[in-house]
Structure 1
C-alpha cells in the first residue's frame, strides 16, 4: 500500500511508463499477499467459521489466488522486457517505451491471465449441500482423468513455472551484454578524447548503472525465490507423484518453496528503497507526515485536506 501511494505521486524521478509497470507490480504483489497468504494460509486455517466455508466464496478465493500469482509473475516479465527494449533497441525505444504502451501491455497481460484462470473455480465442487446451501470445496473426480484439465494444468505450469525464469534469464543476459559493450565503447571514446578523469562523473554511465541495478535486483530476486517451486513442479511432473503424506520431506519442501515464492512479493518495496534515492525520500516524508501523502493522493479532494 505504501509503495502504491508513493508511486502514484510521480515524484520518484521515473518515467511514466516505468511508473505504470512498477505500480502494476506492486498491485500484483499486494494481491498475492492478500489472497495467497492472508486468505489462503491464515483465514482458511485459523478462522474455520469464515466465508471460505461456502463453496462460492471458496471458488472465488481459488480464482483470485491463481490470478494473483500470474499477475505478479507477468508484470515482472513485462517490466523486464520494457527495460530490455529501452536499453538494447534504440529504434524501437521511442515507440514502445511510452506510458500508452505500458497501459496496453498491462491490460493485455491482465486480460490473458484472467482468461487462463477462469476454469479454476470449476475444478471444485461442494463437499455437501445443506438446505440448498453449498458447503466446502473438493476437487472434481474428472480433474485427473480429463484431457481438458490436463491441458489446462500444462498451460498454467508453462505460464507460471517453465517460461518466466528462462525468459528473464535471456532478457537480463542480453541487457547486461549490451550495457557492458556500450559502456566499454563510451569509456574508450572518452579516453581517446582525454576525458578519463570525467568518466566517474559521466551521467550516462551513472544512469545505466542505476537501470541495471534496479532491473537485475527485481528480476534476480524473483528468479532466486521462484526457482525452488519450479524445480519441485518439474520433479513432481517427471515422477508423476500426485499424493504424499503430510509429514513427508516433499510436503515440507513444497511448503518452504511456496513460502519463498510468496516472499518474492515482499521484496520489491525494499529494492526500490535501496536503489532509488527519491523513493527513499518519499518514504521519509510519508513517515514524517502521513496525512500530507494521503492529501496528495489522486482523486482526493484537496480542499478537504
Structure 2
C-alpha cells in the first residue's frame, strides 16, 4: 500500500502537476510520454485504492472469520492479492492511454496531451468514464464502509462477551493481551480506511453533483466549480500521502523495513568507498 501511494505521489504530483506548471522536464510533454504518464497515474490510483479495500477486507477476515483466517491471512495470499490488484489496475487503465491526442506537431514530433473530441461525445467513452468512476472510488467507498461496520460490530460483541467471562473468572478487570492486540488492529484499520473515506468524500460528492447537475466537461478558472474540483483532487492526492505516515507511526516492523531500505544504499556507498581505499593501499 505504501509503495502504491508513493507511486501516486511521484507520478501524479511530480510528473504531472509540477511538470505541467513549471516544465522542468520538457521531454515529458511529448505526446506518447505524456499519455504513458497519464495511464500510469490512473493505474497507480486504482491500485492504491483497491489495496486499501484489500487491507480492510484482510482485517475483517482476521477479526470476524476465524475459520477463513488460517487460509486467507497468509503471505502467499497477500502476494497473490498484490499481484492481481496491480495487474488488473494496469489493464483497466489502458484505454486512458488512447484518450489523448497531440496539441501540436513540431518537426514531426507530437507535443502535448489533449483529450480527443470523441471522448466528450462518444457513448463508448462516456460508458468507460462512468465505469472508471464506479470502479474507483464508488465501489471501494461502499466496501470499506461495509467491512468497517461489520468489523466494529464483531469487536464490540466479542469485547462484551470476553470482558464478562474474564470478570467472572478473575473477579477483577486485568489487562487482556488479546483485546490489546485487537485494539491496535482497529486503530490501524480506522486510521487508514477512515482517512481514505474522509479525504475522498469531497471527490465522490463532487462527481455525483456534476453528473446530476449536468455540468459541462470543461469550466472556466473563475467558476466556483473549478475551485471545488481542484480541492477534491488535492484531498484525493493527500489521501495517498497519509497511509505511509500512518504505517510509520503505528507499525514497528514497517519502521524497521523503512530504515533498512534507507540504510541499504548508504551501506553500498560505504562498502564501495572502503574497497577503493583498500585498492589504493594495495597499489601503494
8 Å CA contact 2:31, 2:113 repeated in 1: yes
8 Å CA contact 1:125, 1:137 repeated in 2: yes
8 Å CA contact 2:40, 2:90 repeated in 1: no
The 2-side partners of 1:275 and 1:166 are apart by 25
**Match for residue 141 of structure 1 among 117, 130, 135:** 117
Cα deviation for residue 209 of structure 1 reads: 0.2
Normalising by structure 2, we get a TM-score of 0.88
Partner of 2:189: 215
1:48/1:275 CA distance change after superposition, 3 Å? closer
**Match for residue 247 of structure 1 among 222, 225, 237:** 222
8 Å CA contact 2:44, 2:89 repeated in 1: no
The 2-side partners of 1:271 and 1:128 are apart by 44
Partner of 2:205: 231
Consecutive unaligned residues of structure 1, counting only runs of 5 or more, are 1-24
Written as runs of structure 1 = structure 2, the 5 A alignment for 1:147-166 is 147-166=123-142
Partner of 2:83: 107
Partner of 2:47: 71
How many residues are aligned here? 271
1:100/1:274 CA distance change after superposition, 3 Å? same
Report the RMSD for the aligned CA atoms in angstroms: 2.5
Moved more, 30-39 or 136-145: 136-145
**Deviations along 1:82-125, whole A, 9 cap, x unmatched?**
11111111111111111111111111111111111000011011
Moved more, 146-155 or 177-186: 146-155
Cα deviation for residue 273 of structure 1 reads: 3.3
Cα deviation for residue 129 of structure 1 reads: 2.5
**Match for residue 96 of structure 1 among 42, 51, 72:** 72
Consecutive unaligned residues of structure 2, counting only runs of 5 or more, are 276-284
Normalising by structure 1, we get a TM-score of 0.82
The 1-side partners of 2:191 and 2:29 are apart by 40
**Deviations along 1:8-61, whole A, 9 cap, x unmatched?**
xxxxxxxxxxxxxxxxx1111111111111111111210166112211111011
Q: Which runs of 4+ in 1 moved over 6 A?
A: none
The 2-side partners of 1:194 and 1:112 are apart by 52
1:33/1:196 CA distance change after superposition, 3 Å? same
The 1-side partners of 2:97 and 2:185 are apart by 40
